[in-house]
Amino acid sequence: MKCRRRRLRPDLCGATAISSCCFDASTYLISALLVAAVTIPRAANTSPPLSWRNFLAEITHGTRVLLREPSLRQALTLSFAEATAGAAAIQRPRSSP
């Protein structure tokens, strides 16, 4: 059994394809213009000036959080092991004198 296609007029078929492409392009341009028109206000800089004391306090706090949480501690251990194995794999053997 053959499938019969309904024949459309060539001008109607072509106009539909062209109009759908034009519609797609126009919606893309409208979207680009709307995105370009968005303004994002800058946040006020409320962070204290960087000092060694603040830096060490931040590092200490982050380390405590990493070591306190079991899942983060496991991820840190696996990441360290992977980095060590990668460094060992790319290390060149030293030539003997």
Q: Which residue has the higher pLDDT, 10 or 95?
A: 95
Euclidean distance between CA atoms 92 and 76, whole angstroms: 26
The two structure tokens encoding residue 70: 């079991």
Mean pLDDT of 44-64: 87
Least-confidence region, from 25-29, 48-52, 71-75: 48-52
Mean pLDDT of 8-17: 57
pTM of the complete model beyond 0.75: no
**Half-sphere exposure of residue 28: CA atoms within 13 angstroms, side-chain side:** 6
Please report the DSSP string for 48-62 in residue order: PPP-HHHHHHHHHHH
Region of 93 please: left (phi>0), alpha (psi -120 to 50) or beta: beta
Residue with structure tokens 């370009």?
36
Mean pLDDT of the chain: 82
